[in-house]
A = this chain, B = another copy of it.
Amino acid sequence: MTIPAHRIAFGEHLRDLRREHGWASQEAFAHHVGLDRTYISGLERGTRNPTLDVLVKLARGLDVTPSDLLATVE
């Protein structure tokens, strides 16, 4: 399966934001937001397709807005 460009852009931005906001490991961030590490990994690689509810959860965990989380997505 080819991963859509918007998922790649989202995943890279999520990874950047996670690191910028002090969560060096996917494991620690996953625990912080109440999601599984493998799911965070899939989001960052673009293989998972998060719902609005998950986007809101991720944004709150990073202390950014949901809109910020999609800033690089076209």
Contact = CB atoms under 8 A, between A and B. Distances in A.
Contacts of A53: 4, 6-7, 49
A10 B56 CA distance: 11
Given A50-B52, A56-B74, 7 more contacts: A4-B53, A4-B56, A6-B53, A55-B70, A65-B73, A66-B70, A66-B74
Identical chains in the assembly:
2
Contacts of A4: 53, 56
Interface of A: 4, 6-7, 10, 49-53, 55-56, 65-71, 73-74
21 contacts: A6-B53, A6-B66, A10-B52, A49-B52, A49-B53, A52-B70, A52-B73, A56-B73, A56-B74, A65-B70, A65-B74, A66-B70, A66-B73, A66-B74, A67-B67, A67-B68, A67-B70, A67-B71, A67-B73, A69-B70, A70-B70
